[in-house]
Structure 1
Amino acid sequence: MSDRSANEQSARDRSANEQGVGTPGAGVPSAPPGRGPGEDFLDGLERILADAAPTGRRLTRDEIESRRALGARAAEAGHGWRSLVRAHLVAGRENWPRGADPDRVLAVVEQAVDAFADGYERAQRLVVRKEEAARREFIDDLLHGRGDRGQLAARSERFGLRLSRAHAVAVAEGPEKYDETDPVPRQVAADLFARFENRRILFTTKDGRMVCIAPGDQDDVLAHFAKRSYAATGRAQVAIGRSRPGTVGIGHSYEEALNALDVAQRMGLDEPLLRASDLLVFPVLARDRQALVDLVSSTLGPLEQARGGARPLLDTLTAYFDTGCVAASTARRLSLSVRALTYRLARVRTLTGVDPTDPVDRYTLQTAVIGARLLDWPTRPLSSTEAAP
Structure 2
Amino acid sequence: MDELLGGHLRTLREAAATGRPPGRAELDDCRAAGALAAERGVSVRALVEAALAMAESVSPAPFPALRRTVSALMEGYEDAQRSALRQEEFARREFVDDLLQGRVHRLAERAEHFGLRLAESYAVAVARPAAHVGGGADGGLAEGTARRIEDALIARFGSHNVLVAVRDGMLVCVAPGGLAAATGEFTHHVRRLFAPGWRVGLGRAHRGPGGVVASYREGANAIELGDRLGLRAPVLKAADLLVFPVLLRDRAAIEDLVTTVLSPLLEARGGPEPLLATLEAVFASQGNQTAAARRLGVSTRAVTYRLERIRRLTGFSPDDSTQRFTLETAVLGARLLDWPAQPLR
Give yes or no for TM over 0.5.
Answer: yes
Q: 1:131 to 1:313 in 2, by over 3 A?
A: same
* Matching of residue 167 in structure 1 with residue 130 in structure 2: no
Asked whether the 8 Å contact 1:88–1:113 carries over to 2, the reply is yes
Asked whether the 8 Å contact 2:149–2:186 carries over to 1, the reply is no
Distance in structure 2 (CA, Å) of the matches to 1:234 and 1:63 = 51
- The equivalent position to 1:211 in structure 2, one of 149, 172, 191, is 172
Q: How does 1:292-307 map to 2 (within 5 A)?
A: 292-307=254-269
Asked whether the 8 Å contact 1:56–1:107 carries over to 2, the reply is no
Bigger RCO (CA 8 Å, 6+ sep): 2
Distance in structure 1 (CA, Å) of the matches to 2:9 and 2:301 = 98
* Matching of residue 377 in structure 1 with residue 332 in structure 2: no
By how many angstroms is 1:139 displaced?
0.7
Distance in structure 2 (CA, Å) of the matches to 1:271 and 1:371 = 19
Q: 1:249 to 1:179 in 2, by over 3 A?
A: farther
Q: 1:185 to 1:70 in 2, by over 3 A?
A: closer
Asked whether the 8 Å contact 1:260–1:274 carries over to 2, the reply is yes
- Of structures 1 and 2, the larger Rg is shown by 1
Asked whether the 8 Å contact 1:178–1:185 carries over to 2, the reply is no
Asked whether the 8 Å contact 1:179–1:208 carries over to 2, the reply is no
Q: 1:186 to 1:168 in 2, by over 3 A?
A: same
- Residue 329 (structure 1) aligns with: 291
Q: What one-letter code is carried by the residue in structure 2 that aligns with 1:162?
A: R
Distance in structure 1 (CA, Å) of the matches to 2:160 and 2:32 = 39
1:146-170 CA-to-partner distances (Å, cap 9, x unmatched) read 123xx22221222232212111122
- The equivalent position to 1:346 in structure 2, one of 302, 308, 324, is 308
Aligned residues: 336
Identity %: 46
Please list every run of 5 or more consecutive structure 1 residues that lacks an aligned counterpart in the other structure.
1-37
Distance in structure 2 (CA, Å) of the matches to 1:286 and 1:251 = 20
Asked whether the 8 Å contact 1:293–1:382 carries over to 2, the reply is no
- Residue 281 (structure 2) aligns with: 319
By how many angstroms is 1:374 displaced?
1.6
* Matching of residue 221 in structure 1 with residue 178 in structure 2: no
Secondary structure at 1:172 match in 2 = strand
- The equivalent position to 2:69 in structure 1, one of 103, 112, 115, is 112
- The equivalent position to 2:88 in structure 1, one of 117, 131, 141, is 131
1:28-51 CA-to-partner distances (Å, cap 9, x unmatched) read xxxxxxxxxx43311322322222
Please list every run of 5 or more consecutive structure 2 residues that lacks an aligned counterpart in the other structure.
132-139
Secondary structure at 1:167 match in 2 = strand
Q: 1:185 to 1:271 in 2, by over 3 A?
A: farther
Q: How does 1:19-168 map to 2 (within 5 A)?
A: 38-94=1-57, 96-97=58-59, 100=60, 102=61, 105-148=62-105, 151-168=106-123
Q: 1:42 to 1:199 in 2, by over 3 A?
A: closer
1:111-158 CA-to-partner distances (Å, cap 9, x unmatched) read 22222233323232222211111000001111221123xx22221222
- Residue 136 (structure 2) aligns with: none
Q: 1:219 to 1:305 in 2, by over 3 A?
A: same
Q: Which range moved further: 254-263 or 199-208? A: 199-208
- The equivalent position to 1:266 in structure 2, one of 219, 222, 228, is 228
Q: What one-letter code is carried by the residue in structure 2 that aligns with 1:305?
A: E
1:297-332 CA-to-partner distances (Å, cap 9, x unmatched) read 343233233222221111112112222233343334
Q: 1:179 to 1:329 in 2, by over 3 A?
A: closer
Q: What one-letter code is carried by the residue in structure 2 that aligns with 1:168?
A: A
Asked whether the 8 Å contact 2:124–2:202 carries over to 1, the reply is yes
Distance in structure 2 (CA, Å) of the matches to 1:298 and 1:243 = 38
Q: 1:333 to 1:52 in 2, by over 3 A?
A: closer
Distance in structure 2 (CA, Å) of the matches to 1:356 and 1:306 = 18
Distance in structure 2 (CA, Å) of the matches to 1:172 and 1:260 = 11
1:8-61 CA-to-partner distances (Å, cap 9, x unmatched) read xxxxxxxxxxxxxxxxxxxxxxxxxxxxxx433113223222222233212222
By how many angstroms is 1:220 displaced?
3.4
By how many angstroms is 1:369 displaced?
0.4
Q: 1:358 to 1:91 in 2, by over 3 A?
A: same
Q: 1:221 to 1:117 in 2, by over 3 A?
A: closer
Q: What one-letter code is carried by the residue in structure 2 that aligns with 1:58?
A: P
Distance in structure 2 (CA, Å) of the matches to 1:66 and 1:254 = 48
- Residue 241 (structure 2) aligns with: 279
Across the aligned residues of Structure 1 and Structure 2, the Cα RMSD in angstroms comes to 2.8
TM-score (norm 2): 0.85
1:60-116 CA-to-partner distances (Å, cap 9, x unmatched) read 22222222222232233332211111111111112x04xx3x3xx111112222222
Distance in structure 2 (CA, Å) of the matches to 1:318 and 1:166 = 36
- Residue 178 (structure 1) aligns with: 141
- Residue 8 (structure 1) aligns with: none
Distance in structure 2 (CA, Å) of the matches to 1:246 and 1:261 = 23
Q: 1:332 to 1:88 in 2, by over 3 A?
A: closer
TM-score (norm 1): 0.76
Secondary structure at 1:382 match in 2 = coil
Secondary structure at 1:238 match in 2 = strand
Q: 1:297 to 1:189 in 2, by over 3 A?
A: farther
Q: How does 1:222-241 map to 2 (within 5 A)?
A: 222-233=183-194, 237-241=199-203
By how many angstroms is 1:282 displaced?
0.9
